Structure 1
């Protein structure tokens, strides 16, 4: 009988396991192999691998320091903004850590207490309520298994089975498909590129340099021919001089974009949601690591005095996250309304040459 079963070992799940693993009996489940080097089972996460300032602040608040071998070249201090709708371009100073996302997730797992039971190569199947808690069913290396627990924590991102079983009648954040391809690139690109084009997406696209590669990604509506739009984006960027001939690999994932506070959901009974499961992800940039670390910290703090009443304490602590999401949604029109974005970029305010 576990105290807590955590489904998902990304930054939210692994940070929670690290913080509570010495106090509670914890089982951590993830479909990836995050402890071994296995070329047949890469821990692929469709992510640009940029650690934004808010995430850097949370790393500092947690008292952690990132090992240097997680960082990759080049480190980025500028964002090249390309507005294809308005035919405008600007450069803005920003500060990101450029990192290997797979190594980052494995590092987060490596600092979890050894008392935590970890089941990787495991797929969550379902849960049922039983006296005193829940029975969680999952498959591990092809074998069907189960575990009993008092609390379930959903930390496995958008389209989580746990959230889908909980939020009947609860508003779900808008869903996108993130498509990202890696291309070989011999030229050094010293900035992160953000691309806006209403013909492609009402969200945004990106280009990120990483060692000898360029990553091209886009957040796209799943209902409007995402691959056709993605290929159209590549064609437009090729006309600007980008070379996408030498593809190495393709990644994809579902992502949430919360537009209303009602779409942020912490869970019910003894089932809690953290990170993107809860709808904690930036509606303006899709940055999620800072929210994953923050929400998992708040849940860990809510469990410090025991299990009874933990969800009510968690709901109180996440009020700051809700306020942050509200503010970012208020700022979004300046980025995503073509006319307002035109005015902001045309002015050159805060841009650099």
Structure 2
């Protein structure tokens, strides 16, 4: 019998387990094997691997410091913004830590208290209500396994099976498919590139340099000729002088984009949601690590006074996340409306003149 079962051990699930693992009996399950680097079934998270300022702030607030072996070259201090719709380009100062996302997740796991039970290479299957709480079923090393718990936490990302099981109103965030490919590149690119093109997506695309590689990614609407649009993006950027060498790998993932604060969902009964499963992710940049760390911190604080009433306390704490999502959505038209973006970029406000 566990106090809390956490499904998903990305930044939200791992940080929650780290914060509550000394007080509660915790089971953490994840489909990846985050302890065995040589595991044959290693699944990489499709992520640009940038720690944005908000994520840096949360890491500092948590009293943590990122080990240097997690960081990769180059460290980035600028965003090159390319508006293909309006044929405009600007450079803006921004501060990102460029990192190895898999190492980052493994580092968070290494911080867990020894009392946390970890079941990696595991796939959540279902749960049922019991007198004491819940019984969950999951596949562990190919075998169906059951565990009983008082609380379930869904930290299982954009396609959260936990959320699907409890969110009856179907008020889910907008969903995108992220396609990201890694290419060999010998030249150094000293900035993160954000690309806007209404022919490709009503969201955005990106190019990120990482250890002699270029990552080309795009957030695309499902079922909207995603592969054709991705290839068109690559062709357009090649014409602009981007050099995509030998392709090393292709990654994909779903991304949530909460367009209304009602699409954020904290949970129900004794089932809570954190991170992207709750809808906590930036609707303007798809940055999720800061929200994962913040929502898991709020849930941990809500559990400090015990399990009884924890969800009500959590719902009160996440009101500032909802406010943040509202503000970002109010600001989004300046980024994603071609007319407003054209006006903002032509003004040159806060842009840098490159030497």
TM value normalised by structure 1: 0.99
- 2:187 is matched with 187
CA contact (8 A) 1:170 1:262 kept: no
* Residue 20 (str. 1) matches residue 20 (str. 2): yes
Between the aligned partners of 1:46 and 1:86, the Cα distance in structure 2 is 29
Residue in structure 2 matched with residue 276 of structure 1 by the alignment: 276
Gap runs ≥5 in structure 2: none
Q: Residue 71 of structure 1 aligns with which residue?
A: 71
Over the aligned positions, Cα root-mean-square deviation in angstroms equals 0.7
Q: Does 1:261 align with 2:261?
A: yes
Equivalent in the alignment of 2:352: 352
Matched-pair contact (CA < 8 Å) for 1:182–1:249 = yes
Tell whether 2:79 aligns with 1:55: no
> Helix, strand or coil for the counterpart of 2:229?
helix
Count of residues in Structure 1 that have an aligned counterpart in Structure 2: 353
Structure 1 segments of 4+ aligned residues over 3 angstroms from their partners: none
**1:99-248 residue pairs with structure 2 within 5 A?**
99-248=99-248
The answer for the alignment partner of 1:290 in structure 2 is 290
**Alignment TM-score, normalising by the size of structure 2:** 0.99
Aligned counterparts of 1:42 and 1:99: Cα–Cα separation in 2: 18
Tell me the SS of whatever aligns to 2:228.
helix
Cα deviation, residue 175, structure 1: 0.2
Say if 2:321 is the partner of 1:309. no
Alpha-carbon shift at residue 40 of structure 1 (Å): 2.3
Q: Displacement of 1:43 after TM fit?
A: 4.0
1:170·1:263 contact (CA, 8 Å) conserved in 2? no
Q: 2:339 aligned with 1:329, yes or no?
A: no
Contact 1:34/1:43 (CA < 8 Å) preserved in 2? no
Q: Distance in 1 between matches of 2:39 and 2:201?
A: 34
User: Unaligned 5+ residue runs, structure 1?
Assistant: none
Partner Cα separation in structure 2 for residue 255 and residue 71 of structure 1: 24
Q: Is the Cα contact below 8 Å between 1:30 and 1:123 reproduced in 2?
A: yes
CA contact (8 A) 1:138 1:144 kept: yes
Work out the CA distance in 1 between the residues paired with 2:84 and 2:228: 17
Shift of 1:243: 2.0
